[in-house]
């Protein structure tokens, strides 16, 4: 058994033994989990791919005279103003005002929120246009200015749902035309399959029961330092798991946050997904402390031990129906093709394993150099025993005189 304090002391002395999750797989295979736990202090993970539930809180600083922005765009991309006077939230999937979207199908979605975020971290100037209705304390009604990241008081990346623990593999089984999805262009007749995970290098697949990753965990985020803020939206720890505890589909997620000013365009890239929309590709790396033999065994997971469900995105996905067509391993996915219903299907990733490796190596370097210590969670995120489930929306007619149980004290 090791403690966070002991590991951090070794990091401080630059004596910590740090390996990537891929290296750990080999170490445990050769020496066993007990010996690996004795030798290794930290395992670094990494992932890089489109993570749509991402965005940034910006504080522009007060204008003269002051203004409470009610509508704002950055390079033509609308930002949310329903918070304090000069705070904005720019979402990664927001498309530029006037973008024809899918009116001419498939739309190109050349620029959006994710691209603005990339432009900011590249140090590029962006155009902020804003309007307001004017109040006695905030009389100004219009603004049109250039600004850079360095001009902002604050730029806090806050991503409500990142680092999905496993995910679907998408195919087009029923449509007779290509379909355009967030998992890529899927050609008819199951010509190809799209997937998006770093597999054995992916953070939550190395800590399947969230023993060490929780609220407050310090992480590599977009090339800078960030933290886990909470369990992410749609966090679903209750999905079926294999005997190693690995979920057999999309399960845990993380809400993460960090200072955009410390981040890099190498690990935050705007995404234009043809026929789908815009997004932001985010690089995340999480250090896993090897507290004991169990954590060593978890971090030894290999691509052959992680399976993902193959889902038909031409119908079953959007209609919330049907069963997965197959379960395939990441080892199979990475081979370039999988077999579904006797058919060889070519595979293509939306996530970059090459970038995920760079992230795991960079984080390893930070820890080895004593620049990055581990933060123990201040609270856990819900695990499989929590009973927490994520389900579809159950629609019902709204009735104004309906149940009032949600209103404290029954007040209206």
Partner 1 sequence: MRVSWNEINCVECGACVAQCPTGALEIDGATWAVRFEKARCAGCERCVPACSYGALGVIEQREELLEKCG
Catalytic positions, written as ranges: 137
Q: Which is nearer to partner 1, 339 or 379 (CB)?
A: 339
Q: Site residues for partner 1, window 34-73 (CB under 8 A)?
A: 48-50
- Paired tokens of 232: 């992410």
Tell me, what DSSP letter sits at residue 386?
G
Contact flag: residue 269 with partner 1 (CB under 8 A): yes
Q: Which is nearer to partner 1, 86 or 350 (CB)?
A: 350
Among 28, 72, 128, 185, which residue sits at the site for partner 1 (rule: CB under 8 A)? 185
Among 29, 346, 371, 389, which residue sits at the site for partner 1 (rule: CB under 8 A)? 346
Among 161, 235, 355, 364, which residue sits at the site for partner 1 (rule: CB under 8 A)? 355
Contact flag: residue 175 with partner 1 (CB under 8 A): no
State the binding string over 128-167 for partner 1 (x if CB under 8 A, else -): ----------------------------------------
Q: Are 121 and 260 in contact (CB under 8 A)?
A: yes
Among 32, 62, 89, 106, which residue sits at the site for partner 1 (rule: CB under 8 A)? 106
Tell me which stretch binds partner 1 (CB under 8 A): 67-75, 181-189, 216-224, 360-368: 181-189
| Helix spans in 139-233 (H) | none
Shortest reach from residue 273's CB to partner 1, in Å: 5
Q: Which is nearer to partner 1, 54 or 212 (CB)?
A: 54
Tell me which stretch binds partner 1 (CB under 8 A): 158-166, 275-283, 380-388, 396-404: 275-283
Contact flag: residue 77 with partner 1 (CB under 8 A): no
Of 204, 205, 198, 197, the closest CA to residue 170 belongs to: 197
Q: Are 241 and 208 in contact (CB under 8 A)?
A: yes
- Paired tokens of 265: 């365009």
CA distance 166 to 231: 15
Among 102, 234, 274, 373, which residue sits at the site for partner 1 (rule: CB under 8 A)? 274
Size of site (CB under 8 A) for partner 1: 33
Q: Which is nearer to partner 1, 76 or 382 (CB)?
A: 76
Query: Which DSSP string do the residues of 72-83 spell out, in sequence order?
Result: EEETTEEEB--S
Tell me if residue 323 falls in helix, strand or coil: coil
CA distance 193 to 181: 11
Beta bridge partners of 309: 327
- Paired tokens of 333: 């996915």
CA distance 5 to 373: 10
Q: Are 376 and 216 in contact (CB under 8 A)?
A: yes
CA distance 260 to 283: 13
Return residues touching partner 1 (CB under 8 A): 48-50, 106, 108, 184-185, 187, 192-194, 269-275, 279, 281, 334, 336, 346-355, 357
């Amino acid at each position: 058994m090791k403690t966070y304090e002991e590991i951090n002391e070794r990091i401080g002395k630059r004596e910590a033994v740090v390996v990537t999750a891929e290296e750990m797989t080999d170490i445990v295979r050769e020496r066993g989990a007990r010996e690996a736990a004795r030798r290794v202090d930290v395992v670094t993970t990494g992932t890089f791919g489109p993570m749509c539930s991402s965005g940034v809180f910006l504080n522009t600083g007060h204008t003269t005279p002051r203004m409470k922005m009610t509508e704002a765009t950055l390079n033509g991309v609308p930002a949310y103003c329903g918070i304090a006077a000069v705070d904005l939230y720019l979402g990664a999937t927001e498309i530029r005002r006037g973008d024809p979207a899918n009116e001419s199908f498939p739309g190109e979605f050349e620029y959006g929120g994710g691209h603005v975020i990339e432009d900011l971290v590249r140090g590029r100037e962006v155009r902020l246009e804003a309007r307001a209705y004017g109040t006695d304390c905030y009389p100004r009604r219009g603004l049109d200015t250039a600004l850079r990241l360095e001009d902002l008081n604050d730029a806090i990346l806050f991503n409500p749902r990142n680092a999905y623990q496993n995910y679907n593999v998408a195919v087009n089984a029923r449509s007779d035309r290509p379909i355009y999805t967030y998992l890529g262009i899927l050609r008819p007749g199951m010509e190809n399959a799209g997937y998006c995970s770093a597999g054995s290098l992916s953070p939550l697949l190395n800590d399947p029961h969230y023993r060490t990753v929780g609220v407050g965990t310090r992480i590599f985020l977009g090339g800078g330092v960030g933290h886990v803020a909470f369990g992410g939206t749609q966090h679903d720890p209750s999905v079926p798991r294999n005997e190693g505890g690995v979920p057999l589909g999309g399960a845990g997620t993380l809400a993460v946050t960090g200072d955009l000013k410390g981040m890099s365009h190498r690990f935050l890239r705007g995404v234009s997904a043809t026929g789908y929309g815009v997004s932001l590709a985010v690089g995340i790396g999480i250090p896993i402390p090897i507290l004991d033999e169990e954590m060593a065994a978890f971090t030894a997971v290999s691509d052959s031990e992680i399976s993902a469900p193959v889902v038909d995105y031409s119908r079953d996905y959007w209609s919330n129906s049907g069963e997965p067509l197959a379960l395939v391993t990441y080892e199979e996915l990475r081979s370039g093709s999988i077999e579904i219903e006797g058919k060889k299907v070519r595979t293509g990733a939306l996530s970059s394993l090459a970038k995920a490796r760079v992230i795991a190596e960079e984080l390893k370097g930070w820890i080895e150099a004593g620049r990055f210590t581990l933060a123990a969670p201040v609270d856990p995120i819900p695990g499989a025993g929590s009973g927490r489930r994520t389900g579809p929306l159950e629609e019902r007619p709204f009735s104004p005189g309906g149940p009032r149980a949600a209103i404290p004290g029954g007040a209206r």
